[in-house]
Amino acid sequence: MTLNIFFFLLVSHVLGDAIFTSYRLAVLKRSQRLSDQVLGISYHTSVHALFAGLLLLMLDRLWLKGALLVLAIHFGIDFLRCRVEMRLFGPGRIHVKRSELIAWISGNSGDQEKMHMSKLWPWFLIHLMDQGAHLGSLYGIALVV
């Protein structure tokens, strides 16, 4: 049952991170004003919590506990990531947009300097650690609910 719960939480994570997010929200999460940043991250993590709660409800699990855990842990992870990115790449911007990454992978990058591996490795490392923290926390939540 834990793997089923983890799978549903993973689906909610993909919905929140890939489908129900926007460039504007990503920039807001990295705003120089702390209040704007907290607002952006709160909105983003609320979407995650909503999907997690709905999917856990379908499994007849502790949906409210799971949703609140997703909200709190995801907020902490995203807040830390955004603060690190702001220090490295500057506030109010995204270092690598989704479209830039897709263009780079397909060999059609318009900004060869920015997309050079020597400049990308910090972003890749941050992204890897961020997604690893999310996956680990989702599995931990699956064990609890």
Would you call 44 exposed, middle or buried from its count of C-beta atoms within 10 A (0-12, 13-18, 19+)? buried
Q: What is the pLDDT of residues 52-78, one digit of tens each?
A: 999 999 988 889 999 999 999 999 999
The model's pTM: 0.90
CA angle 31, 13, 25 (to 5 degrees): 20
Look at residue 102 in the predicted model and tell me its pLDDT.
Answer: 83
pLDDT at 4 over 80: yes
pLDDT band at residue 98 under the 50/70/90 scheme: confident
Question: The tokens of 102 are what?
Answer: 């897709």
Q: Kindly tell me if the per-residue pLDDT of 111 is higher than 80.
A: no
